[in-house]
Each structure stands twice: as structure tokens, then as C-alpha cells.
Structure 1
Amino acid sequence: MTPDRWIVTVTGLALIGFIAWFFWLKRSTGFRASDISGGYQEAMILVKGGYTPDTIIVQSGRPVRLNFRREETATCSDKVIFADFQKSADLPTGQTVSVELLPKSPGEFGFGCPMGMFRGKLVVE
């Protein structure tokens, strides 16, 4: 095999490895929701090319308020769905929308856009 074929092969394998890591293997440490008056645990989530932060850590048995701020116009990000809680919310561009939940048991609960391209996780301890 010639040197240029080696370079192309190694570069291609490196890109495949990076894509697999980025989309399936990357784990975020998570953001712990802050306590506010009224007993709520609250977190602000920026919607721009994904959810930032994409992992929110809360305590079970206490109400949670997640504030989503959408800063893009992609149609996939115009709604967030919490399937495990049977909740969803429309996310207009440039506005902050609150979603209130009451997680009763520990576990990991996913949320995301209708197409499944944007994904996040609510970790209940």
C-alpha cells in the first residue's frame, strides 16, 4: 500500500472513532439543579445545537422546574418531550419556557426533541 493510501485509511478510521465517541460514548458529568424558594429545584437549559447542559441532576420527591431558552430556528428544536412524565412543551425562539415535573422515584429519564436528534437526561437521585 502506498503512503497516501495509509494516510487516508488512518484518517478515515480516526474520524469514524471520533464520530462514535461523540454521538454514542461521550458522557457528561451533569449539572446539579439549584434549590430556589418554594421548594423547587431549578435549572436553565440553553437550546442551541443541542441542550446545554444535557444532563440535569435532581433529588426525588421534590418538584423540578427546567427553564428552556431556545436560541435557534431549527425546526427540530421547537419542542421538548419528557415521555416518562407524559409532558411536552413548545419552545418559541428567543423565549424562556418552564417545564415543571415531580420525579417520585430515582432513575434516569430522557428528554429530547420530536425527531430524537437533541437528547438530554434527567438524573433523579
Structure 2
Amino acid sequence: MKALISKHWHLLLIGFVALIMGGFVLFYFQGSASSFPASQPKQAQEEPDKSQYEMVTVGVKGDGFYPKNIEVKAGVPTKINFKKMTSFTCIDEVQSLKIGMDVFLDHENNYFTVKDLKPGVYEYNCGMYMYYGTITVK
């Protein structure tokens, strides 16, 4: 047995590394459906009253926000829906210090209300500062 292991140690090592990598790939690509549920499940957000708000949807994909720039009207309350288009993305949070945005993204609707912004361009980003988008207020 010892001679067999010493003769084929490289195959055992490759098998062990493949097993570890396979476990990592399964863990990484499970999306946000974690095997460790939150202590309190988050309720799905209800669709807001469209007559009271301007509605804008920003798609969240694996490589960023689509569209990267959205335009809203100054003085008009706006709800921005950051909608995840895939679970294969590292974007779990959208934030902007200038407008007080800090939104954790679920698979469902993720609304952020923009009120009383002055005309200008406001930048937002993912929680890891890898992907950016802008809100242009006119």
C-alpha cells in the first residue's frame, strides 16, 4: 500500500485539489441563496403607488448597472428600483454618501426613494466600489 501511494502521490494530490476547488465553485456560485438564513427573513417590498412617484428601474447584472446613467426631474419624488437581473453577481449593495443611499439588494424589488435633490449629477456605487452609476437631476 505504501509503495502504491508513493508511486501515485501526484494523482492523489490532483484529486484532492480538484475536490477542494469543486467545493469552492459550488459555494461561490450558489447565488445569494445561502445555507445560513438570516435570523429574520426580509419581507418583499410592495410595488409603490406610481401616481405619487416617478419610477425608474436600474438593472443589476454581473458586470454593473444598466443603464449606467439615469435622469430624474428635480422636485419630483422618484423611486429607483435596483432590480437584480442575475444571481451571478457580486453586487449585493448600492450606496451613495451624497444622497444617503445604502440599499441591500434582494432578488426582488429594491426601491430607494429620491426626494428634493438639487439639479446636478450624483454618483452611486456597489458596496465594493467596483461598479458605478450616476443619477442626473435636471
Q: TM-score range by the shorter chain?
A: 0.5 to 0.7
1:109-120 superposed matches below 5 A: 109-120=122-133
Aligned to 2:76: 62
- Give the letter aligned to residue 133 of structure 2: G
How many Å separate the matches in 1 of 2:113 and 2:72? 13
Alignment RMSD (CA, Å)? 1.3
Q: TM-score under structure 1 normalisation?
A: 0.64
Gaps of 5+ in 1: 1-35
Figure out how many residues of one structure are paired with residues of the other and give that number.
87
Aligned residue among 91, 95, 110 for 2:108: 95
2:106 corresponds to 1:53: no
How many Å separate the matches in 1 of 2:126 and 2:108? 17
Gaps of 5+ in 2: 1-49
Higher strand fraction (1 or 2): 1
How many Å separate the matches in 2 of 1:104 and 1:96? 22
Higher helix fraction (1 or 2): 1
Q: Which has the larger radius of gyration?
A: 2
Q: Which runs of 4+ in 1 moved over 3 A?
A: none
- Fraction of identical pairs, as percent: 25
Q: Is the 8 A contact 1:63 1:100 kept in 2?
A: yes
Aligned to 1:80: 94
Q: Is the 8 A contact 1:103 1:124 kept in 2?
A: no
Q: Is the 8 A contact 1:67 1:99 kept in 2?
A: yes
Aligned to 1:11: none
